[in-house]
Structure 1
Amino acid sequence: MENCYYRESPGFIFEVFNTGDSLWITASWRGGRRLAFRAAYAPGGGMELQRREKGAEHVVFHLKTLFGNYRVRLDFPPAEPSMFHCVTTLVPDIPLHVPFWPRDCVPLPGKTPATGKVHISQEGIRSGLMYMSFTQPANGSLLYFQDLSALNDYCNATETSLGGTVGGRWPELGFSLPPTKEKPLPAGKEFVLSDAYLLLDAQKATGEFGQARQFLDMLSRVYVQLPPVKTTYRNWPHILKKSLHDLEHKAGCWLQADGKSYLNAYVSDYATPPESMVQLAVLLPLMDYEEWSGEKVNMTDVIKEGLPTFYDDRIKSISRWLVSMEEKLDGSEEHKKPRVMDSWYLHHPLLNLSRIAMKGDKNARQLLLGSLDYVIKVARHFKYDWPVFYHLDTLEVIKAEAAPGKGGERDVPGIYAHVMLQAYELTKEQKYLTEAKRAAKALQGRGFDLFYQANNTAFASGAMLRLWKMTGDELYLDLSYLCLANIFKNVWLWDCDYGHARYYQTFFALFPLNNAPYTAVYEELEGFSAFHDYLAHAKDRVIMPAVRLLLAEFIKHMMHRSLFYYPPELPPSVLSGQVKSGELDKKLWIPVEDLQDGWKTSGTVGQEVYGAGLPFALVPRHYYKIPEAAMMMYIDYPSCNYVKRGQSLFFTVQGDERLHCRMLLIPVEGENLSGYNVTVSGKAVKGKRTPEGYEEFILNGNQRIGIRWKAKGRKKKAAAQLIKSL
């Protein structure tokens, strides 16, 4: 065994060894824990070190094997003394089949066997990460992160997928290169075989709350080391207009019943009765847009007119299905049967009704308050531990668990608490606050298995934050972080660029369910809205910097990549020829439900009408009208603390100062941008003129921005013209 390198940092020792069949990097904690990372592998042996290049913070190894030449670069980020980053490339000499590849991370025994627990590992095509801690010796934790974006060339050449490549069973852990089937790795071209970050911690977090905090912190520290993923500006007001037209005029979006019009769940899905969730999921963003634009959207009144017909007098609550059509459910799926309730579906319409009621809508308030006694009865009956399906009238459990041993809908206590907090804010009745507290405590003990559905968990995180603000009890803040850790366990932190996915971006997408094989527009939109709400409530509070960083980055990347849910933005070959629900109109500006791994076609579930609120939620949160200056400000990070004084606007960009966002100043059509200046924390900055005539600024997060202008003298008509011109 050849010792090739030695390095010490505070608390850790790093060494590199060539064992003939592998190049190993060992990390040793001062307390005796050791971990080996396999940087290069040569089946059958014969690996020779040709040369070594050493720098202050890196070392490069050039290795020769019987089948090709390796290059292994090992970096030690100065800001992270307990992290190393290893990139391994191979130039095969011959076409190379990979029938098997061992995992690359092995805890090493010391005086006693090394034991530990893997808390999180990759599920499907989610982030290529693994979070674990040692139990013997008693301290020490690790976040392993494989930047799977770097392996796209390998997958394109071999037609393999990166799903399920990071994980394993103790003690064989980490990443395993996907085995080739029919296509070998071609000779003569350099391929990245691994791009791994290992972040070590001398401490083992205790309990689910400590682990959630540690995971969020470690993930954010790795995130800032990743190569920036490029984003571009998307003209969301323009997309909104096309989506609004198609939503209003495409007959397949609507169903007529009992003299009223209802939105279908999927385009041309007439077999399924209307759902209350669908109506409200679109109505709320439409109302947000009406408030922002000052324009009336005709279909809001159409949707509102139908809401009372979802009130079920038998249970005295808003129900899921249109009451008059419930008996027409075809039983094709477990939940498509009369009187069967999917637990989260009871609460989600009420959550959106409460948000509409907060806007002053009396009918929404009446429907909400008229449903709460039943909702509370159900919660108490199940002791705040909801099954998947139950009977609306008898509360008999129809399906207790999502999967054997996985429990029911484990995050429903959080969305229930959110509904109760909204009711408390509307009425100031103490019973609703009491219910929220009871439900919150039911989230305890669920660890990294709390997540059932993304939007539930996202709204639960905000509810827990609000309870912490109201009570000062740290338990609720811990529960909030636990919810968020579950969210960031279920994201796609790499850009799939093989197969069909070459035509769309996936970086930082959110998966709707724990085991979902695709991302879905509706749950992503709900997460987006929930995270904006979370940051709004936290704007004047001290919370984990990691949370501000991760939420802001999710929002920024969603502003970029969610464009690709729209069929007109995708080549026809990317979209499925067979659809589960309704039809897929490839010219229609209604989003598909699903974006898949690159070797699968997308849009297989259907074209999601209840996700059509996407642009109506994005535009009001990221565009700020300045009619006096005949321009509009766009920013792709969340922002807050807006103050307008005379001919000046000041606001705070959220996020982290180490990362960047884009701000644009957009003129009214026919106007030129002139007579303005921009400051960052009081210092003047200059932008860059884009081909469209916009002024673009690249800003750091967590900054105070000022915009000053000379009035154009068009106050009365400029605001309306801003909307029409985009």
Structure 2
Amino acid sequence: MSVGVVSSHEPAQPDVISQWASGLKNSLGQNRNRTVAALQFSTGLLEICLDTTSFWIIYSFPTGGKVAIRACYDPQALYDYTSQEDGDRALGFRINGALGQFHVRLELLDNDRPFLRYTTSLRPASAFTVQSFPRDVYLLDKTYDPLKTEGVVHITQNGPTSGLAYVSCLKPKGPTLFYFQNLTALNDFFEQTRTEPSSVVGAKWPELGLSLPSSDTPLAKHRDVVISDAFLTLRADTPKDDYQTADWFIDEFARVYRLLDKPATAYYDWPQAADKTIRSLSRSSACYQRINNRFYLNAYVGSSEKPPESMVQLCVLVPMLAYQAWKGRPSKLAEQLRQNVPSFYRDDLKTVVRWLPGRPFRKSDLSEEEDHNKMDSWYLFHILMNLGRLALQGDETAREIFLKSLDFAIEAAHRFKYEWPVFYHVKTLEILKSETKPGEKGEQDVPGVYTYVMMQAFELTNDDRYLREAELSAGKLVGSGFNLLYQTNITIMSAVALVKLWKTTGNRLYFDLSRLCIANTIAKMWVWNGTFGFGKNYNTFMGVSCLKDASYIAAYEEGESFATALDYLRLLGSDASPSLSLMLAEYMKYLINRGRYYYPYELPGEAVADQSKEGQIRRQLTIPLEDLRTGWQQAGQVGQEVYGSASAFVAAAYAYQRHERMPLTIFVEYPVIESGFRDSRPDTGEYFMHLAGVPELACRLRIFPNHGSLPNVRVFTDSETPHEILQKNRTQTYIDYEVVGGTRYRIEWQTGRRKRSTKKS
């Protein structure tokens, strides 16, 4: 089946520009205070320029285009500057202005392909409030004219996501710019001004970059404060299609990420959290309701005024089954949840549904989705996806319900031509809400999760009908660009489905589309850590927004994203690029570290909302809050998320490596994409594992005994020239190592006397 390659990007050519870009042709082009910088890249020309209000760094491409960086701005006046070399590849500038003294450090990070970092701090001469500030990067032609340029804005920061902007200049030809503002470095600014970095980085051609948020709370006088810490990568050409656009985005992001200061991680006992979660779900009546002798979980703690939801039961059940398999012990709760699944099937519709049939809503103020006859497009396929997982594990009841529901799903797909609305009527398929916002279409990643379900159906039945459906649906993702993501976990699930489709059909387009899905997901990451306000008490570094325009990160979406990203990396194997592997491995490493902060008892009381939109918050329960937010906002404003409680099961089952014949449990922060076990005698053995990520970055590996004391353990790289990894820390109950990504390891143990290792030659 052939699907054409379409670009989603519409070029922009300005006919009207803002006050900040107007006049640049004269102020820069005719400026006599412009000098060649003391350091240069191997191509192009780097210049320094001072005008009456701005200090500029200007890079001219050999092809004629220019990038002008407004490294500092004073609305009253800049007077003069001095400069000096700061190491081999950096320059320091002190600029005197009416607001105070600015310091700019310019660092050239790659000589061959322009990559620079500029950091600006200010020591105010007197306290002042920050009002309107310009963005810092401008695209110009060779005569310094912004009006004669044309370009494409691929993606920018949205809410509290990473402070990035990614653009391509089409006229003059090239460059492609990746801009990243290190928002972590601006924590003191946000603390002093009581602002936060939501949507502070943007792009409207020909301007892009950071615009400091306004505030009526002043900056203190005579106190240095960082007001910008920006990275800028410059490619001389433009991507040929959406897929190269996505690949370059991931590469440039990973290039910057390697250089960022990152928070330290700390071990958290996820198996213990998983066991406490099971107790909370089983024993707290606020978490469940009993109907017709069946046990149903509520969506939120204390939200029993609504009928039970099918997704809630399955979101907890499927990861819980993975956890009980990991632990080797069955759970009564898992069996109770399994028994309630058939009650969500409606014979009159011949499909599984969202709300438990026949149960009323016992509340007066219904939200828009609280209607037995209304279906949210993604929701149906999420239910079917988890039923398909159970069916593939051998659950015959789940298989029957899954297969019986497929005709309804396919009929809906045909009615909507694989372009899914937000809500539709389950009886008539009438569209009840077509778009998330006017002009933004419906749920654009649903074709991907539909593809996932059809690939499950094909795997279960070997019926080519489902494979054809999968291909027709996947084709609807073509041309989506960076507008593909509606819900993060659904988009990563789409990536998994597309890799399966690629490997089944051999059509590489689906592999390309899968990487586009991952690029959309990475664009929603919070690659910064806010330590202002309540943020002093928790960590959101490398979080990922749950929805395309969400203002928070969410436990359920992150837990499912974690498990699905691991599936994606394992499916790809060596086909995953180093940059893609790096970004997903680091995401998973930090979620393992910071996932604890979703539990209300891990936060101080003042950081948690007193009232929530859904149900109630009970701090003692090991049930996560739905929402963690930026530092000035309390967590838990939505509620305490029962259906997100599976995150502990996911973390325990996937971050801890066990084997029934191995006396050890191995915890590792990076995802294990391949592993194996070998023993030669009852008292000795070896465990092999291949970690995702890249060798430039490291993670924690911790080894526990399953019973009693630690056996003799040694860790080696598993290569032609192996070397032993030295212990970083050892206690009576565990051994810590630091290991790097993208590497194979061999772990040897002996439960009796220590044996001498035999290394490979």
The answer to whether the superposition gives a TM-score over 0.5 is: yes
Instruction: Structure 1 unaligned segments of length 5 or more: list them.
Output: 714-726
The 8 Å contact of residues 64 and 141 in structure 2, kept in 1 or not, is answered as no
Residue 554 (structure 1) aligned to one of 578, 584, 587: 587
Q: CA deviation at 1:207?
A: 2.6
Structure 1 residues 661 and 80, CA gap change in structure 2 (3 angstroms): farther
Residue 621 (structure 1) aligned to one of 646, 649, 654: 654
Query: For residue 147 of structure 1, what is the aligned residue in structure 2?
Result: 182
Structure 1 residues 139 and 64, CA gap change in structure 2 (3 angstroms): closer
How many Å separate the matches in 2 of 1:451 and 1:13? 39
Within 5 A, what are the aligned runs for 1:62-73? Answer: 62-73=94-105
Query: For residue 171 of structure 2, what is the aligned residue in structure 1?
Result: 136
How far does the alpha carbon of each residue in 1:581-630 deviate from its partner, in whole angstroms, 9 at most, with x for none? 11001121100000112111110111000000011111111111256663
Q: CA deviation at 1:327?
A: 6.7
Instruction: Structure 2 unaligned segments of length 5 or more: list them.
Output: 1-32, 680-684, 754-761
User: Normalized against structure 1, the TM-score is what?
Assistant: 0.95
Query: For residue 705 of structure 1, what is the aligned residue in structure 2?
Result: 745
Where 1:414 maps in the other structure, the secondary structure is helix
Query: For residue 667 of structure 1, what is the aligned residue in structure 2?
Result: 705
Between 1:330-339 and 1:235-244, the stretch displaced more is: 330-339
How far does the alpha carbon of each residue in 1:647-671 deviate from its partner, in whole angstroms, 9 at most, with x for none? 1111111111221111111234641
Residue 297 (structure 2) aligned to one of 257, 263, 266: 263
Query: For residue 329 of structure 2, what is the aligned residue in structure 1?
Result: 295
Q: Which letter maps to 1:224?
A: R
Identity of aligned residues (%): 37
How many Å separate the matches in 1 of 2:646 and 2:483? 29
How far does the alpha carbon of each residue in 1:92-119 deviate from its partner, in whole angstroms, 9 at most, with x for none? 2321221221111111232571221211
The yes-or-no answer on 1:437 pairing with 2:475 is no
The 8 Å contact of residues 595 and 603 in structure 1, kept in 2 or not, is answered as yes
How many Å separate the matches in 2 of 1:604 and 1:444? 36
Structure 1 residues 329 and 207, CA gap change in structure 2 (3 angstroms): farther
The 8 Å contact of residues 113 and 234 in structure 2, kept in 1 or not, is answered as no
Structure 1 residues 311 and 628, CA gap change in structure 2 (3 angstroms): closer
Within 5 A, what are the aligned runs for 1:299-698? Answer: 299-325=333-359, 332-539=366-573, 541-625=574-658, 630-646=663-679, 647-668=685-706, 670-679=708-717, 681=719, 682-690=722-730, 693-698=733-738
Q: CA deviation at 1:248?
A: 1.3
How many Å separate the matches in 1 of 2:706 and 2:406? 47
Query: For residue 160 of structure 1, what is the aligned residue in structure 2?
Result: 195
How many Å separate the matches in 2 of 1:23 and 1:673? 62
Q: CA deviation at 1:560?
A: 0.7
Q: Which letter maps to 1:687?
A: Q
How far does the alpha carbon of each residue in 1:126-164 deviate from its partner, in whole angstroms, 9 at most, with x for none? 110000011211322100100000000111111111111
Query: For residue 15 of structure 2, what is the aligned residue in structure 1?
Result: none
Q: CA deviation at 1:477?
A: 1.1
The 8 Å contact of residues 78 and 95 in structure 2, kept in 1 or not, is answered as no
The 8 Å contact of residues 76 and 99 in structure 2, kept in 1 or not, is answered as no
Q: CA deviation at 1:691?
A: 5.4
Where 2:639 maps in the other structure, the secondary structure is coil
User: Normalized against structure 2, the TM-score is what?
Assistant: 0.91
Query: For residue 72 of structure 2, what is the aligned residue in structure 1?
Result: 40
Number of equivalences: 711
How many Å separate the matches in 1 of 2:710 and 2:729? 11
Once superposed, what is the RMSD of the aligned Cα atoms?
1.8
How many Å separate the matches in 2 of 1:692 and 1:569? 26
Where 1:556 maps in the other structure, the secondary structure is helix
How many Å separate the matches in 2 of 1:337 and 1:84? 54
Within 5 A, what are the aligned runs for 1:215-254? Answer: 215-254=249-288
Query: For residue 9 of structure 2, what is the aligned residue in structure 1?
Result: none
Structure 1 residues 675 and 207, CA gap change in structure 2 (3 angstroms): closer
How many Å separate the matches in 2 of 1:4 and 1:55? 18
The 8 Å contact of residues 641 and 652 in structure 1, kept in 2 or not, is answered as yes
Q: CA deviation at 1:567?
A: 0.5
Q: CA deviation at 1:9?
A: 2.1
Q: CA deviation at 1:206?
A: 2.3
Structure 1 residues 80 and 699, CA gap change in structure 2 (3 angstroms): farther
Where 1:324 maps in the other structure, the secondary structure is coil
